[in-house]
Amino acid sequence: MRYTWSRSLLAALLSGALAAVCPSPSEAQTPAELQKLQDEAVQRAKEYLRINTANPPGNEEASMKWFARILQQEGIPFDTASAAPGRGNIWARLKGGNEPALMLLHHMDVVPADPRYWEVDPYSADVRNGDIFGRGALDTKMLGIAHFQAFIALHRLKVPLSRDVVFMATADEEAGGAFGAGWIVKNRPDAFRGVGFVLNEGGSGSVDGGRQRFGIEVTQKVPLWLKLIATGNPGHGSQPQVSTSVTRLIRALDRLRTYEFTPRIIPAVDAYFKGLAPTAGPWQAAFSDMAKTVQDRNALLKLQADAPAAAALTRNTCSITMLEASNKVNVVPPEATAQIDCRTLPDQDHAVFIAELASVINDPSIRIEKTLGFTPAVSPQDNAVYRAMVDVTRKHHPQASIIPSVSTGFTDSHFFRDLGIPSYGYAPFLIPADQESGLHGNNERMSEANVRRGTAIMLEIVQRIVQKAATP
């Protein structure tokens, strides 16, 4: 269904947001100022979407310069760094009190888009029926704009801050973050000095059949990318051999394809499903007791068919994604490789998991190499940052369910969770269910009303976290 807001409802929402972010007359922001902030958000969202940062190659330096120009106009100092030619990163800091700093983090790169399957040019930011089309609208340029406008507003209003606030836009998240957040963590720790909390992508708001739901991501399944390498005698394609590198690899992959990892429900996943249960319709009873549900193989198969992302949270998984062998049709190659995308539950030991895979493949001549792997972590919910997200969201969406969520994908949050910094995935937007497929898909878009509403809500959340309490 299409989810729209009446003018009267939007005006009421903005009025409420204004009241919440204006705690004293000296810091009062007029309706005209809030309107200006939101008008800027819509315009900047379009400008940002028109910068093609498809990764590969990334070209985030172009959007880095775009942010730098605006920060310079606002009189806010900033830093930039390029991990490689064209791979720009940018961050800025507003100084505050001694409480642990808050970082607003998003990535500037996007996945590629094939214009043949879009209604518009993926980098045009065309507006149709109130929706702004563009690659990155959901992942994560619009979130970056909401962060940026909140950051700008704090500076303009001269809000007294209890803590530093850091705005950071990074490169390369879509390819693992080696030129972005990962590089900054290794090479520029000054950029996040004193940071105690991170707001990032990973959470989401959705509306389906009138049911509203917000997820605040607190942990993720852990990516473990592996390469399988099979070797054998090379030869001519006209002289088939009993066994080759290719046939060994195919046999190994077929064993992996038919293997079922043992389902199990960890505490964070259990809490997530219990939060989903009240609005899960026919799945309500099953989600209320997932430890029992996963014992029923047919129930799991049905869940995988109905909701693959939900099913993926019940076990470790592996997807076969890349194959490489001969570069000529009549040559039997000496080596054949496959790359597999495995995602493990947050408590899974990776050495034990790789040993399990080796046992499944049951071919000692096939090597298993790790190409990428992160460490697990779960961010706590008993702090002012998490409560601010819940409270402000509930204020503006009283009918919505708000739950701590677990993501099947990964984000740059893991770099900071590895350092012991609580990191949360949150977006202040309500996306209609029929538009969610645009994320990494075709016709990615977000309504102008969502951008305006999200800008106001994000400002209120950030200010609630960082505003210095008034002195009696």
pLDDT greater than 80 at residue 161: yes
Residue 385 makes CB contacts below 8 A (sequence gap 6+) with: 102, 197, 199, 422, 424, 465
Q: Which two tokens stand for residue 4?
A: 């729209």
Judge contact between 404 and 272, C-beta under 8 A: yes
Three-state DSSP class for residue 447: strand
> What band does 472 get if pLDDT is binned at 50, 70 and 90?
low
Q: Which CATH class is domain 220-373?
A: alpha beta
pLDDT of residue 432: 96
**H helices then E strands: how many in the chain?**
15, 19
Arithmetic mean of pLDDT, 250-260: 97
pLDDT greater than 70 at residue 409: yes
Name the average pLDDT for the chain: 92
pLDDT of residue 471: 64
Three-state DSSP class for residue 47: helix
- What CA–CA distance (Å, rounded) separates 232 from 245? 5
CATH 3.40.630.10 fits 7-202+411-466, yes or no: yes
- Looking at the chain, which residues constitute the CATH 3.40.630.10 domain(s)? 7-202+411-466
Which of 69-78, 356-365, 371-380, 443-452 comes out lowest in average pLDDT? Answer: 371-380
As to burial, measured by CB atoms within 10 angstroms (0-12 exposed, 13-18 middle, 19+ buried), residue 380 is exposed
- Of 439, 287, 316, 309, residue with least CA distance to 376: 316
Q: Which tens digit of pLDDT belongs to each residue from 131-153?
A: 999 999 999 999 999 999 999 99
- Looking at the chain, which residues constitute the CATH 3.30.70.360 domain(s)? 220-373
Q: Which two tokens stand for residue 279?
A: 């609005």
- What CA–CA distance (Å, rounded) separates 41 from 428? 14
Judge contact between 142 and 74, C-beta under 8 A: no
As to burial, measured by CB atoms within 10 angstroms (0-12 exposed, 13-18 middle, 19+ buried), residue 190 is exposed
pLDDT greater than 60 at residue 18: no
pLDDT greater than 70 at residue 27: no
- What CA–CA distance (Å, rounded) separates 433 from 431? 6
pTM of the model: 0.87
pLDDT greater than 70 at residue 346: yes
> What band does 7 get if pLDDT is binned at 50, 70 and 90?
very low
pLDDT greater than 70 at residue 397: yes
Arithmetic mean of pLDDT, 46-59: 98
pLDDT of residue 10: 32
Residue 62 makes CB contacts below 8 A (sequence gap 6+) with: 51, 52, 53, 88
pLDDT greater than 60 at residue 12: no
As to burial, measured by CB atoms within 10 angstroms (0-12 exposed, 13-18 middle, 19+ buried), residue 278 is middle
> What band does 32 get if pLDDT is binned at 50, 70 and 90?
confident
Q: How far is CA 432 from the centre of its chain?
A: 18
pLDDT greater than 80 at residue 28: no
